[in-house]
Amino acid sequence: MSGQDQNPVIRVRGLTTGFGDQIVHDRLDLDVRRGEILGVVGGSGTGKSVLMRSIIGLQEPRAGEIEVFGEPMVGRTENNAKDVRRRWGVLFQNGALFSTLTVAENVQVPIREFYSRIDPKLLDEIAGYKVAMSGLPSEAGPKFPSELSGGMRKRAGLARALALDPELLFLDEPTAGLDPIGAAAFDELIESLKDTLGLTVFLITHDLDTLYAICDRVAVLADKRVIAVGTIPELLALDHDWIQEYFRGPRGRAAADAAERDSDAHAPTQAGPAQAEGMTR
């Protein structure tokens, strides 16, 4: 089994990106399958956020193809890609909430963009529903981002990402800065939203517990490419220094032990063997 999906939700081929003389990605390939949570890992500065921004059209690639829901994305204007953008939600690494808007108003921003003539009462109702769905108390709706804790801000960002009932969710470091209990609760929320809404999730994370708990597969970014994609056991079988150090270092072992102790832990899917590039298995 090649592990190549015939009909991926996201398909990236030969992606090259950069800033000035700096090349961030060099002919990178990646598939994200329908209904999976794909974890994206890699050292700081390896280009995880730039990859996400390229896929959602905020960063124009130098070369390569990007398809989302089978639609080519490269070279599309924001307006031209509206029908595709409507089908995804994004939680940025820094939260990116509008500081002068309340949580409820933040959630309403994407809805207003796509449905400009929506009845204000309905808009309030939808925002309230999304706030509740993200695990925030209803009192959070009228608050400003500065009045929330870090964990609540993440949930507010998630509420906004869910505003348009997306099929695809992009999450950039959603649990960074949360305490372990808050992070585990956020993981559970993502997993249950995936199950109930049938979401596909592109999840950038440094959080090993998140990888073990909810990711179906993990893509490893290094050397300007996705060097391997697979379940954690599949990645562990690969002879690559960064992968071995990451998963078998003290933090990786602790996360693996915790996942094993937790009988409810998410079992790895029966995917095909990890797709590795230029690596010994």
List contacts with ligand ATP (CB under 6 A). 19, 24, 42, 44-50, 93
Contact 70, 7 (CB under 8 A): yes
Pick from Mg ion, ligand ATP, none: which does 40 bind, CB < 5 to 8 A by kind?
none
Longest dimension (CA), the chain: 59
CA-to-CA separations, 28 to 97, 201, 212, 228, 230, in angstroms, rounded: 30, 19, 25, 11, 16
Dihedral of alpha carbons 39, 42, 45, 47, sign: negative
CB of 234 to Mg ion, least distance (A): 24
* Closer residue to ligand ATP in complex, CB, 59/244: 59
CB of 69 to ligand ATP, least distance (A): 23
175 near Mg ion, rule: CB under 5 A: no
Cβ-closest residue to Mg ion? Answer: 49
CB of 153 to ligand ATP, least distance (A): 17
Site for Mg ion in 67-96 (CB under 5 A): 93
Contact 221, 30 (CB under 8 A): no
* Closer residue to ligand ATP in complex, CB, 41/111: 41
Which of residues 17, 46, 49, 108 is near Mg ion by CB under 5 A? 49
* Closer residue to ligand ATP in complex, CB, 49/175: 49
CB of 223 to ligand ATP, least distance (A): 13
Pick from ligand ATP, Mg ion, none: which does 19 bind, CB < 5 to 8 A by kind?
ligand ATP
Q: Following DSSP, what letter does each residue of 127-183 receive, concatenated?
A: HHHHHHHTT--GGGTTS-GGGS-HHHHHHHHHHHHTTT--SEEEEESTTTT--HHHH
Q: How far apart are CA 80 and CA 75, in angstroms?
A: 10
Burial 148-180 (b: 16+ CB within 10 A, else e): beebbbbbbbbbbbbbbebbbbbbbbbbeebee
* Closer residue to ligand ATP in complex, CB, 60/71: 60
CB of 191 to ligand ATP, least distance (A): 22
Instruction: Name the residues that contact Mg ion, by CB under 5 A.
Output: 48-49, 93
